[in-house]
Amino acid sequence: MAIKAVKGINDILPNVVGRWQLVESVARRIFSNFGFQEIRIPILEKTELFARSIGETTDIVEKEMYTFPDRNGQLLTLRPEATASVVRAFIQHKLHLEPGMRKFYTMGPMFRHERPQKGRYRQFHQIDVEVFGVDDPMIDAEVIYMLLVYLQELKLPDIKMHINSMGCPDCRLPFRQSLADYLEGVSDKLCSDCQRRRRTNPLRIFDCKVDSCGKLVDEAPVLLEHLCHECGENFQSVQDNLHSLAVAYTIDPLLVRGLDYYTRTTFEAITPHLGAQDAVGGGGRYDGLMKVLGGPDLPGTGFAIGMERLILLLDDKAGAPKERNRLFVACLGEEAKSRGFSLAQELRVSGLSVEMDYESKSLKAQMRRADKLASTHVLIVGDDELAKGAALLRDMEASSQEEIPLEGLVEQLLGRMK
Partner RNA sequence: GUGGGUGUAGCUCAGCUGGUAAGAGCGCCGGGUUGUGGCCCCGGAGGUCGAGGGUUCGAAUCCCUUCACUCACCCCA
Distances (CA, A) of 400 to 2, 221, 328, 344, 414: 48, 77, 15, 21, 18
| Closer Cβ to RNA, 240 or 403, answer by number | 403
Of the candidates 395, 108, 152, 391, the residue with the CA atom closest to the CA atom of residue 269: 152
Which strand ranges, in their side-by-side order, compose the sheet holding 377-382?
Answer: 353-356, 326-332, 377-382, 390-395, 400-405
Measured in whole angstroms, the distance separating CA 323 from the mean position of its chain's CA atoms is 26
Give yes or no for a contact between 53 and 292, defined as CB atoms under 8 angstroms apart. Answer: yes
Shortest distance, position 98 Cβ to RNA, whole Å = 28
293 binds RNA (CB under 7 A): no
234 binds RNA (CB under 7 A): no
Distances (CA, A) of 233 to 56, 228, 238, 264, 265: 31, 9, 9, 11, 12
Q: Which residues ranging from 193 to 232 are in contact with RNA (CB under 7 A)?
A: 193, 197, 204, 207-210
Q: Which residues ranging from 333 to 372 are in contact with RNA (CB under 7 A)?
A: 361-365, 367-372
d(CA 342, CA 358): 12
* Residue of 279, 290, 327, 354 interacting with RNA (CB under 7 A): 279
* Residue of 170, 384, 402, 411 interacting with RNA (CB under 7 A): 384
Shortest distance, position 188 Cβ to RNA, whole Å = 19
404 binds RNA (CB under 7 A): no
Shortest distance, position 26 Cβ to RNA, whole Å = 16
DSSP H helices in 161-320: 169-185, 192-200, 211-219, 229-244, 289-292, 307-313
264 binds RNA (CB under 7 A): no
Using the Cα atoms of residue 251, residue 252, residue 256 and residue 259 in order, give the sign of their dihedral.
negative
16 binds RNA (CB under 7 A): no
d(CA 38, CA 234): 29
Q: Which residues ranging from 39 to 58 are in contact with RNA (CB under 7 A)?
A: 58
| Closer Cβ to RNA, 397 or 407, answer by number | 397
| Closer Cβ to RNA, 95 or 280, answer by number | 280
* Residue of 40, 71, 115, 322 interacting with RNA (CB under 7 A): 115
Q: Which residues ranging from 297 to 336 are in contact with RNA (CB under 7 A)?
A: 304-306, 308-309, 332
Q: Which stretch binds RNA (CB under 7 A): 4-12, 96-104, 141-149, 233-241?
A: 4-12
418 binds RNA (CB under 7 A): no
Q: Which stretch binds RNA (CB under 7 A): 33-41, 118-126, 175-183, 242-250?
A: 118-126
Element spanning 390, H or E: strand 390-395
Q: Which stretch binds RNA (CB under 7 A): 28-36, 114-122, 151-159, 234-242?
A: 114-122
67 binds RNA (CB under 7 A): no
Shortest distance, position 355 Cβ to RNA, whole Å = 13
Of the candidates 201, 199, 256, 264, the residue with the CA atom closest to the CA atom of residue 59: 201
Beta carbons within 8 Å of 312's beta carbon, 6+ residues apart: 118, 119, 273, 274
| Closer Cβ to RNA, 96 or 113, answer by number | 113
Q: How many residues bind RNA (CB under 7 A)?
A: 71
| Closer Cβ to RNA, 19 or 204, answer by number | 204
d(CA 27, CA 265): 23
Shortest distance, position 37 Cβ to RNA, whole Å = 21
**SS3 of 47, please?**
helix
Distances (CA, A) of 388 to 68, 133, 257, 392, 411: 69, 73, 74, 11, 19
